């Protein structure tokens, strides 16, 4: 079945329902914030959100097979973006046909029936290899799905395929050298931002960011250790969620996955997280994973939101006007901003971030490999097969366990750096009476791809002054990293495009365990900001 035939059948199946009515619901009627609202409308079939897809399949106006066929065709047509490591074409179509058969038989459909999702290739899948984008795991086949993924599948979601990522999720660019190199040794297939193919999509869940933004699928499941769902969300114009992780060993953890359900970095910080084009779609996936109800958008009038200066300082000149405009729209809607800083937060976070992220893999990686009967069992074996220069540098620190002592100091109960950071956040939310804090997810728009090194230093402009030779990784995660060490929930929401047409995300963080409320706030904010114009893929 061709894509054009799929679209004709789709519109035929909608009967007398107009495209505007069919697309009603979440996201309908919103204008693009920072985009060109006068441009040619997006193909309605590709524009469907996850919420709209499942609603239309359930009410019979859309066949799951027709929609899946369109998604597969889209993924193949845009394969040059290198978003996917494996496309699950045959099995995805088979599953979609089964959904249609259940519908025809009058069976009750699950909450996500027929929904194509992309899954980051470091999350365990029992029917597909889980490679982590690294050579030593090319043939790694887990025997079970990660628990959060299984809940999505049980609700009727269909895995379209495994998405590309920064090798072993150890980076922020998703320039992965495992996918092939040319004779010069430069990466032949870096993951590319659909808004500008010369730029990174962010990482490490970059393949998800690209696939969702480029309309291969309306939603997906990624992982986040220091910003890996939210940085790609910001750079690719979609939404990305990091749920509460709490103390890192179970208390306060929102999702059921453990360190053996996805390739680990930090047992304290790692979590899976949904990614989608709207916050409402993330709330839908979150409700399926947690067994809760999908929240409604929160009224913004009178909502108190903190504006910590540390997260607003040093914004690139292209990002600042978009962030300021987004803030003004919220003020116009009645949000009450509290200008109170999280004093000392950046220095406190920096004191523990690398010690936690580069010491915990020493034990976590062998534990995962052994538990999952992987082809290799040690850090040294993984390190020997690494293809990406920047990841090799990180694994050198892991193999040498150079952060053991500062890690121990950071994790001392009550007085260690992590306990201090958690107290700083807790006291801030209580003292200021705010339900969340707001700031740009990343301080700059997507940087250009470094096809030689995977990640290099970059420059950007603040107040007309060039900031030279800045570390790409540290710059991109500056605003996303602190909440990960505190274990609190965080959400990136698309807020607009720069003058050059690159997406900008705004992040909200809330108190530990406030995930549902944070999603409700995000839904209210996205209604004010509007949808971001789709990339011209």
Helix ranges restricted to H, 267-403: 279-290, 309-312, 320-332, 345-350, 353-359, 361-371, 379-384, 389-400
Distance of CA 380 to the CA centre of its chain: 29
Contact 522, 297 (CB under 8 A): no
Tokens of 283: 């709330």
**H or E, element range at 462:** strand 458-462
Distance of CA 136 to the CA centre of its chain: 25
Task: Give the span between the Cα atoms of 216 and 208, in whole angstroms.
Answer: 9
Contact 322, 443 (CB under 8 A): no
Q: What is the largest CA-CA distance in the chain?
A: 68
Asked whether the CA dihedral 396, 397, 399, 400 is positive or negative, the reply is positive
Pairing of strands 436-440, 458-462: unpaired
Phi, psi of 177 (to 5 degrees): -85, -10
Closest CA to 495 of 34, 19, 69: 34
Query: Can 120 be counted among the known catalytic residues?
Result: yes
Query: Can 228 be counted among the known catalytic residues?
Result: yes
Closest CA to 473 of 497, 493, 492, 453: 453
Pairing of strands 465-470, 458-462: antiparallel
Per the DSSP assignment, residues forming a β-bridge with 458 are 470
Task: Give the span between the Cα atoms of 249 and 247, in whole angstroms.
Answer: 6
Among residues 136, 148, 163, 204, the one annotated as catalytic is 204
Among residues 120, 192, 320, 533, the one annotated as catalytic is 120
CB atoms within 10 A of CB 260: 18
Among residues 136, 148, 163, 228, the one annotated as catalytic is 228
Query: Can 6 be counted among the known catalytic residues?
Result: no
Task: Give the span between the Cα atoms of 143 and 152, in whole angstroms.
Answer: 17
Contact 491, 439 (CB under 8 A): no
Per the DSSP assignment, residues forming a β-bridge with 497 are 503
| Residue found under tokens 């909450």 | 111
| Integer Rg of the chain from CA | 22
Residue-by-residue DSSP string for 169-201: G--SS---GGG-B-TTS-BSS---BTTBTTB--
Contact 179, 162 (CB under 8 A): no
Task: Give the span between the Cα atoms of 435 and 13, in whole angstroms.
Answer: 44
CB atoms within 10 A of CB 492: 32
Residues tagged active-site? 120, 204, 228
């Amino acid at each position: 079945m061709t894509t054009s035939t799929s679209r004709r059948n789709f519109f035929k199946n909608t009967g007398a329902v107009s495209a505007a009515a069919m697309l009603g619901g979440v996201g309908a009627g919103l204008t693009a914030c920072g985009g060109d609202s006068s441009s040619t409308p997006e193909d309605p079939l590709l524009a469907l959100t996850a919420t709209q897809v499942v609603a239309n399949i359930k009410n019979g106006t859309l066949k799951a097979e027709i929609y899946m066929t369109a998604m597969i065709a889209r993924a193949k047509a845009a394969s040059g973006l290198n978003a996917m490591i494996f496309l699950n074409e045959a099995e995805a179509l088979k599953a979609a046909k089964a959904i249609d058969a259940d519908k025809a038989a009058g069976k009750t459909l699950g909450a996500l029936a027929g929904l194509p999702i992309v899954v980051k290739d470091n999350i365990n899948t029992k029917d597909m290899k889980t490679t982590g984008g690294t050579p030593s795991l090319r043939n790694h086949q887990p025997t079970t799905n990660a628990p959060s993924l299984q809940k999505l599948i049980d609700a009727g979601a269909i895995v379209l395929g495994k998405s590309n990522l920064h090798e072993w999720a150890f980076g922020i660019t998703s320039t992965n050298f495992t996918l092939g190199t040319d004779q010069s040794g430069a990466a032949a297939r870096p993951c590319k931002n659909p808004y500008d193919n010369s730029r990174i999509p962010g990482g490490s869940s970059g393949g998800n960011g690209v696939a969702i933004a480029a309309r291969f699928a309306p939603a997906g499941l990624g992982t986040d250790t220091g910003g890996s769902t939210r940085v790609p969300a910001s750079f690719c114009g979609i939404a990305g969620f990091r749920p509460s992780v709490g103390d890192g060993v179970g208390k306060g953890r929102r999702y059921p996955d453990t360190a053996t359900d996805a390739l680990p970095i930090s047992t304290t910080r790692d979590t899976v997280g949904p990614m989608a084009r709207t916050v409402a779609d993330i709330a839908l996936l979150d409700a399926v994973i947690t067994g809760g109800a999908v929240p409604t958008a929160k009224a913004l009038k009178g909502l108190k939101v903190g504006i910590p200066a540390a997260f607003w300082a040093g914004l690139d000149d292209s990002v600042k006007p978009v962030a300021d405009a987004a803030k003004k729209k919220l003020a116009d809607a009645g949000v009450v901003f509290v200008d109170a800083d999280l004093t000392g937060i950046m220095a406190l976070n920096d004191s523990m971030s690398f010690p936690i992220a580069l010491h915990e893999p020493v034990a976590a990686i062998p534990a995962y490999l052994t538990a999952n009967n992987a082809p290799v069992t040690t850090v040294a074996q993984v390190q020997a097969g690494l293809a990406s220069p920047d990841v090799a540098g990180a694994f050198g620190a892991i193999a040498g366990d150079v952060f053991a002592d500062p890690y121990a100091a950071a994790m001392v109960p009550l007085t260690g750096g992590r306990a201090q950071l958690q107290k700083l956040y807790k006291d801030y939310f209580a003292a200021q009476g705010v339900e969340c804090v707001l700031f740009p997810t990343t301080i700059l728009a997507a940087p250009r791809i470094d096809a030689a090194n995977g990640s290099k230093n970059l420059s950007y402009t603040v107040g007309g002054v060039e900031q030279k030779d800045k570390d790409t990784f540290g710059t991109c995660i500056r605003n996303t990293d602190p909440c990960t060490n505190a274990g609190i929930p965080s959400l990136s929401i698309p807020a607009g495009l720069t003058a050059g047409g690159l997406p900008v995300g705004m992040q909200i963080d809330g108190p530990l365990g406030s995930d549902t409320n944070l999603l409700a706030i995000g839904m209210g904010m996205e209604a004010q900001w509007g949808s971001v114009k789709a990339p011209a893929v």
